[in-house]
Amino acid sequence: EINLNCGCPSEAAVKVRQGHGFGAQLMTTPELVRQCTEAMAEEAEVDISVKCRIGTHQTLADLERNGDHYDTLLSFVDAVAAGKVKRFAVHARSGILAGLKASENRKTPPLHHDFVYRLQAERPELEVILNGGVCSQQDLDRARQRGLEVMIGRWAVQHPWALADEHTLASGRGAVFQEYLDYARKELRDGREDHLLMLSDPLRNLFAGIEKCKEYRRVISTLGTSPREGGLERFETVMVEA
């Protein structure tokens, strides 16, 4: 699957004022998105999907003045789905194109899970994925009960153990740690990844809430100093210490 991101309102995206821009700005030109995804589908041998917001506003003041409207999301999805895209991951907030940092765009615009639920109900031929504001098992269960797939980001990064299934819980965090180390060693040996801190990042919060977790994270963070030096030997030395 190749996903075209039409939902990122980062400063890099919103600074592009000439032409059509990229990220969340693309939501303002749904016909262009349809053309792009059709061209991608013609060349690729995998499915094309789109990630989007429920809409966009130029500024936060515009959002407060005009509000969010379900029809904005529906119009965008219908225009793009007229082409080759049948799978949409929807961050259930508007994207503010100016005046907010990316981190603020993840929490300041109000959530509208109801827009995504309605889209799924009114367009059953599409695969609709809920993103944004899913921060607990209760949130996850609520979406699944409605038949929605869910895209989880920061909750999974910050609290990975909350998503452990029964088998993983029975195996314990140590087993997950060792299994990931095997994967990391292979990545380093095969040369697919050489940034040691990035490679260790999925392990950072594995022991969240456990005694001495702060010391564990501190040791792992030392890989941030010259993260591309030392290779496998340095990586394993730090992991053993952690």
Cβ pair 17, 54 in contact under 8 A: no
Map residue 190 onto helix, strand or coil: helix
> 5: how many CB neighbours lie within 10 A of its CB?
15
For residues 100 and 179, what is the distance between their CA atoms, to the nearest angstrom? Answer: 39
> Residue 24 has which token pair?
């969340």
Which amino acid makes up residue 95? G
> Residue 227 has which token pair?
């993260």
48-57, strands of its sheet edge to edge: 2-6, 48-57, 87-96, 127-131, 149-151
Q: How far is CA 57 from CA 38, 108, 109, in A?
A: 26, 13, 10
Nearest one of 82, 89, 84 to 41, comparing CA atoms:
84
6 catalytic? Reply is: no
Q: Which of 8, 36, 135, 213 is catalytic?
A: 8
For residues 164 and 155, what is the distance between their CA atoms, to the nearest angstrom? Answer: 13
Which amino acid makes up residue 11? E
> Residue 131 has which token pair?
């993103």
Cβ pair 218, 171 in contact under 8 A: no
Report, as residue numbers or ranges, the catalytic residues. 8
